[in-house]
């Protein structure tokens, strides 16, 4: 308790394992303690090596759905037996064997939700990087303005949405909202200063997905994330504000840092 350590998180929707025989399993289990254990014992029985597992259920749900990628090299001829035994402890069982040796993309899920009612998109980092580079190649420095304003509305929406859901305010609400960026893989944002009387807010961003795209430059490069943070603070404070990037990893700083600036 009290210790802080970050671990990489793998979202299992695409798998490449050339030495394995891959299989995707999808099934439901009753939303009760011990039900998942019964299903996993079947995989153990047949020597199936589970490579990734994900599932989700709210306390009010009667069932939870489980998704598994596994190596079935030792149980290739036992898939029908596994399916039969899963159907005894689970429901709605689906199994798909690798269409391409050693490679599978999830075919059982759509759409993706971060929590009920909120659909999400998953972008590969190289995809995002090429999109940003392409925008600058097409529009030059105008791309910075486009990225800022594109993200601003998203940040403002996030503030309004979480404000309604969490029933918090002030520093406590902002601290919870900032966790979005870390959980979403954008970068870890921490609150350095918070004083709404002036107002004075300083945010520190580490491991920025955006600012690492172009390598070393002589100017701040966070425009998409700066726009999103500006929209977030505009929505939370209820006034027209933006953040200015005072430090940036693209300039050789150890982290990116943003300072609040009022516009009204």
Same domain for 147 and 42: no
Q: Is 5 within a domain?
A: no
Same domain for 157 and 104: no
Same domain for 136 and 87: no
Residuewise pLDDT in 10s, the chain (264 residues): 556 788 888 888 899 999 999 999 999 999 999 999 999 999 999 999 999 999 989 999 999 999 999 999 999 999 999 999 999 999 999 999 999 999 999 999 999 988 778 889 888 999 999 999 999 999 999 999 999 999 999 999 999 999 999 989 999 999 999 999 999 999 999 999 999 888 899 999 999 989 888 888 888 999 999 999 999 999 999 999 999 999 999 999 999 999 999 987
Q: Is 175 within a domain?
A: yes
Domain count, the chain: 2
CATH of the domain at 50: 3.30.70.260
End-of-domain residue from the set 85, 120, 155: 120
Same domain for 189 and 96: no
First to last CA, the chain: 43
> Mind spelling out the 3-state secondary structure of the chain?
CCCCCCCCCCCCCEEECCCCCEEEEEEEEECCCCHHHHHHHHHHHCCCEEEEEEEECCCCCCEEEEEEEEECHHHHHHHHHHHHHHHHHCEEEEEEECCECCEEECCCCCCEEEECCEEECCCCHHHHHHHHHHHHHHHCCHHHHHHHHHHHHHHHHHHHHHHHHHCCCHHHHHHHHHHHHHHCCCCEEEEEEEECCCCEEEEEEECCCCCCCCCCCCCCCCCHHHHHHHHHHHHHHCCCEEEEEEECHHHCCCCEEEEEEECC
Q: Is 8 within a domain?
A: no
Q: Using CB atoms within 10 A of its CB, is residue 111 exposed (0-12), middle (13-18) or buried (19+)?
A: exposed
Same domain for 140 and 114: no
End-of-domain residue from the set 96, 120, 144: 120
Q: Is 227 within a domain?
A: yes
Task: Say how many CA atoms lie within 13 Å of 1 toward its Cβ.
Answer: 0
Same domain for 91 and 129: no
Q: Is 45 within a domain?
A: yes
Rounded to 5 degrees, φ, ψ at 263 are -115, 5
Same domain for 29 and 152: no
- The per-residue pLDDT for range 111-168, each reduced to its tens digit, is 998 877 888 988 899 999 999 999 999 999 999 999 999 999 999 999 999 999 998 9
Same domain for 233 and 144: yes
Q: Is 177 within a domain?
A: yes
Same domain for 136 and 232: yes
- The per-residue pLDDT for range 194-209, each reduced to its tens digit, is 998 888 999 999 999 8
CATH of the domain at 256: 3.30.1380.20
Same domain for 89 and 129: no
Q: Could you list the residue range(s) of the whole structural domain that residue 233 is in?
A: 125-262
End-of-domain residue from the set 69, 102, 120: 120
pLDDT at 264: 79
Q: Is 240 within a domain?
A: yes
Same domain for 254 and 177: yes
Same domain for 94 and 55: yes
Q: Is 189 within a domain?
A: yes
């Amino acid at each position: 308790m009290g210790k802080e350590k970050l671990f990489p998180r793998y979202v299992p929707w695409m798998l490449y394992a050339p030495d394995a025989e891959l299989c995707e399993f999808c099934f439901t289990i009753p939303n009760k303690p011990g039900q998942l254990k019964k299903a996993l014992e079947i995989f153990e029985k047949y020597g199936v090596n589970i490579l990734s597992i994900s599932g989700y259920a709210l306390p009010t749900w009667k069932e939870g759905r489980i998704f598994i990628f596994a190596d079935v090299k030792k149980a290739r001829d036992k898939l029908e037996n596994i399916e039969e035994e899963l159907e005894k402890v689970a429901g709605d069982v689906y199994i798909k064997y690798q269409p391409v040796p050693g490679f599978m993309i999830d075919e059982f899920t759509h759409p993706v939700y971060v929590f009920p009612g909120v659909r999400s998109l998953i972008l590969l980092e190289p995809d995002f990087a090429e999109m940003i580079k392409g925008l600058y190649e097409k529009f030059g420095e105008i791309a910075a303005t486009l990225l800022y304003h594109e993200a601003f509305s998203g940040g403002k929406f996030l503030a309004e949405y979480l404000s309604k859901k969490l029933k918090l305010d002030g520093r406590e609400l902002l601290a919870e909202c900032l966790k979005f960026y870390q959980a979403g893989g954008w970068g870890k944002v921490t609150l350095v200063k918070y004083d709404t009387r002036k107002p004075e807010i300083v945010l520190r961003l580490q491991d920025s997905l955006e600012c690492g795209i172009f390598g070393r430059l002589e100017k701040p490069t966070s425009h998409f994330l700066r726009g999103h943070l500006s929209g977030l603070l505009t929505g939370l404070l209820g006034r027209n504000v933006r953040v200015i990037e005072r430090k940036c990893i693209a300039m050789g700083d150890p982290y990116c840092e943003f300072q609040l600036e009022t516009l009204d």
